[in-house]
Structure 1
């Protein structure tokens, strides 16, 4: 097997098409695509992009929900050596515009529902144009020379200073883990060829597009849901005998609470992996009881092509409650360090910043050399921005978020971004944003605001204003008003002091 077949997604698709071309690869509603068709479509898309003037390294953007066409677009771009930039469809127009300008996309593929996005370049509308455009191009072999180190994806994360950063990921970042998982029998994160997987997480997240590309590597049938729909999830698990599920804890709770879950057939499910936030113990017990399968936690970042640390199913058994608060242990090929303020390693039991060394770590932040240099500190090490502790047995316990990030329902929200949006209101004199515990979403965004004299601004007014400027999931769910915000002598908001009353009595400052 050549290196291209081993370590590039285009090569993996070609291999599965040759070995099991008639097997179902993609299923989206009534459309079913075999591996042979998937492979041919990828070549046609690559040739279509080339006909539009794109070459290796060019960026193409996608704005829309999950679909088989979106997944094909990723592999078509990969076959040409172009870089796909999937954009989270829930973002506000101004955020979409920033990403399109920042990445320098040569063409935008867009769902008709989002056709009003601010864009004046070349575009293809997915529902009405994509298949006609794709099938209008040749399936003659593409001659672009693709290597494992070539950029493959560019995903945007919320920025600590309010501007999203483009995380550039290579073929090897995404492909190197699977053979190691197979060798170490990490079965809960390494489905077998022919297994059915459901993709319901948003395509603009690593959990979405990463799940789609992982299915290419492993040769699984990918059942694609446009977005998370608990009733559809329950139905498809039974109809297609799905063995493996990935859900954020909030989505699992919603699925189990749905009326269709009563008496549903989950007998095919062998394992459920969850991530983006810890799982409440009561929800875990309910999930194990009702699904009757293994549970495993995954911890990772966009910058690490997803999961790099896992809490194994055996650590979810009775008697292992002492490690249930942890994120788990490093996966094969991953090293963890805890760093002090001078970036020196700390011993077990000490809390500091979590650093990762792995072949999964990104190439760079796009056009952000200073931020790249802060994150990639040499010798392969990446600073995660999470505060954590390693115990003597190698379990990682996440204690807090150094960058103040809020995780609400699996979505990353940075306070600076929300503060910047709300501060533009003429009645807002000062603002701080924090995450507070929420029983459904894990954490909820709360704004604490100092009003200008004479203002009668209400909580509803603040939330409505925020919705005009940022994505709905980033908007405050609640607002408190105060006379002044606590600050240190240099003027920095004392966010820990603001958070303390809401987190009192909880062991960790993450939920």
Structure 2
């Protein structure tokens, strides 16, 4: 293989050049007064500059804070103030939104979107500057920073804010030995090797693709980034770049399987050696179909932004334990606790608690040590998921603890109903959750995005559930909803939909 490259759209840059540019970014930030330990916000879409900026911030010893660039107004203002950003990198069209959200003026370094980004997001060719610094001309005036930390800080990732405001995950600095162990664990869970060409199709402001991309560059792996996931372009990119490895989310599987069979089979995917998924529950039927299509190269892992990868499984293990997300990796452990604080028997549901081992760096939340302490029990940490362990130690997810619905005293897990509905022909997306009810306490509501040509009605969807699942799992409220608030990563903001029922306008 030639020397490692970073590819995005029609652009490629050698790893060496990207690292040199990152060192100049570090030098420029130092001249702006940014200090080691400071936090620098990154409001950028997927592109080569995202990586260079993140690496440059780390080379200074400062901490990159990747920001969901969809955020605006109060939610963006909250994040920028909460992390105490001392500088911000933003794509030029996003810079005005950032400037409006800053409560205290800090330098904004504008990045002009590439042609691939402009095409993917239908941005105009000419974008006005807001009078701030522009990355390329700013770089021309700076030399590379030479004095860099042995282990750059990990990014501060903000949680999605399932309950309350998003929380910034701040990690303790890693020792060089920890860095080696963390890299080895990630590569085992991801199924990634140094010889493979890897593809990142998901937004890098999220934890898993962020780690995937940055560790790939650090390790010298040939990397391709998609500006935006699109099913046909995803398959074409694998064929064009001879991709051996990629990481996806289950929503991408669903969109890929919706392509006509003839179109799916028209691409040469023979280079693929490993496809890993995580971040959300995957319907067993969807996963089985992907294994049938791609072969037994589908890997899965489970963990959280706080804990990293903790459990993992390959296709053979999953087929032997359908529905599992894996078994604890070396040095990690899983416990299931019941509400009374006792450990749940094998096969019984409870809250999942994770022990990450000494190699994974500890964490707290910015400005919220109390919340961090509340998550811990006997040295194990909960990230809010519910599930159970089988007799072989394989973990199964049921739902987020906060998403579980108690209707008339019966526990219902919306994820099970969602995983069924998403496989119904004509259903494009679905969110199931509980809403207040005077008689039962809570009842189920389902917001479903359907193909307009499918002709599906609310009653059709109820009947599909009734004919396949228990009657108490049939949603009382069904709404055909074409605007479900889901991120490109696959993360669904149920809270925003549920709030319509709790606080109607």
The 3-state SS of whatever aligns with 2:233 is helix
Which one of 128, 134, 137 corresponds to residue 139 of structure 2?
A: 134
Change (3 A) 1:478 1:46: closer
Report the equivalent of 1:474: 493
Q: Is the 8 A contact 1:175 1:217 kept in 2?
A: no
Q: In the TM superposition, what are the counterparts of 1:86-125 in structure 2 within 5 Å?
A: 86-117=66-97, 118-120=100-102, 121=105, 122-125=107-110
Change (3 A) 1:176 1:244: same
Report the equivalent of 1:46: 26
Alignment of 1:75 with 2:59, yes or no, is: no
Report the equivalent of 2:204: 203
Report the equivalent of 1:503: none
Report the equivalent of 1:389: 388
Q: Is the 8 A contact 2:42 2:54 kept in 1?
A: no
Report the equivalent of 1:14: none
Report the equivalent of 2:170: 168
Residues 329-338 or 396-405, more deviating: 396-405
Alignment of 1:238 with 2:239, yes or no, is: yes
The 3-state SS of whatever aligns with 1:94 is helix
Q: Is the 8 A contact 2:63 2:156 kept in 1?
A: yes
The 3-state SS of whatever aligns with 2:18 is helix
Change (3 A) 1:336 1:476: closer
Separation (CA, whole Å) in 2 of partners of 1:270 and 1:463: 36
Separation (CA, whole Å) in 1 of partners of 2:494 and 2:288: 31
The 3-state SS of whatever aligns with 2:194 is coil
In the TM superposition, residue 218 of structure 1 has moved relative to its aligned partner by 3.4
Alignment of 1:84 with 2:57, yes or no, is: no
Q: Is the 8 A contact 2:318 2:324 kept in 1?
A: no
Report the equivalent of 1:336: 334
Q: In the TM superposition, what are the counterparts of 1:111-510 in structure 2 within 5 Å?
A: 111-117=91-97, 118-120=100-102, 121=105, 122-127=107-112, 129-141=134-146, 143-144=147-148, 146=149, 148=151, 151-169=153-171, 172=174, 176-180=181-185, 186=188, 189-258=190-259, 260-305=263-308, 307-317=309-319, 320=320, 323-341=321-339, 343-358=341-356, 359-360=359-360, 362-377=362-377, 379=379, 381-404=380-403, 437=418, 438-439=421-422, 443-444=430-431, 448=435, 474=493
**RMSD (CA atoms):** 3.6
In the TM superposition, residue 311 of structure 1 has moved relative to its aligned partner by 2.0
Tell me the TM-score normalized by structure 2.
Answer: 0.73
Runs of 4+ off more than 4 Å:
440-443, 445-450, 462-467, 475-482
Residues 391-400 or 127-136, more deviating: 127-136
The 3-state SS of whatever aligns with 2:158 is strand
Q: Is the 8 A contact 1:449 1:479 kept in 2?
A: no
Unaligned runs of 5+ in 1: 1-19, 407-433, 451-458, 486-492, 494-511
Separation (CA, whole Å) in 2 of partners of 1:223 and 1:267: 17
Change (3 A) 1:248 1:174: farther
Unaligned runs of 5+ in 2: 114-133, 406-413, 438-477
In the TM superposition, residue 251 of structure 1 has moved relative to its aligned partner by 0.7
In the TM superposition, residue 313 of structure 1 has moved relative to its aligned partner by 2.1
Q: Across the two proteins, how many residue pairs are aligned to each other?
A: 415
Q: Is the 8 A contact 1:295 1:312 kept in 2?
A: yes
Separation (CA, whole Å) in 2 of partners of 1:314 and 1:193: 23
Q: Is the 8 A contact 1:463 1:475 kept in 2?
A: no
In the TM superposition, residue 71 of structure 1 has moved relative to its aligned partner by 0.9
Separation (CA, whole Å) in 2 of partners of 1:351 and 1:132: 57
In the TM superposition, residue 449 of structure 1 has moved relative to its aligned partner by 7.7
Report the equivalent of 2:409: none
CA deviation profile, 1:442-479 (whole Å, cap 9, x unmatched) = 751668589xxxxxxxx99x999999xxx995378978
CA deviation profile, 1:412-458 (whole Å, cap 9, x unmatched) = xxxxxxxxxxxxxxxxxxxxxx87624167751668589xxxxxxxx
Change (3 A) 1:80 1:376: farther
CA deviation profile, 1:26-57 (whole Å, cap 9, x unmatched) = 11223222222122122111111101100111
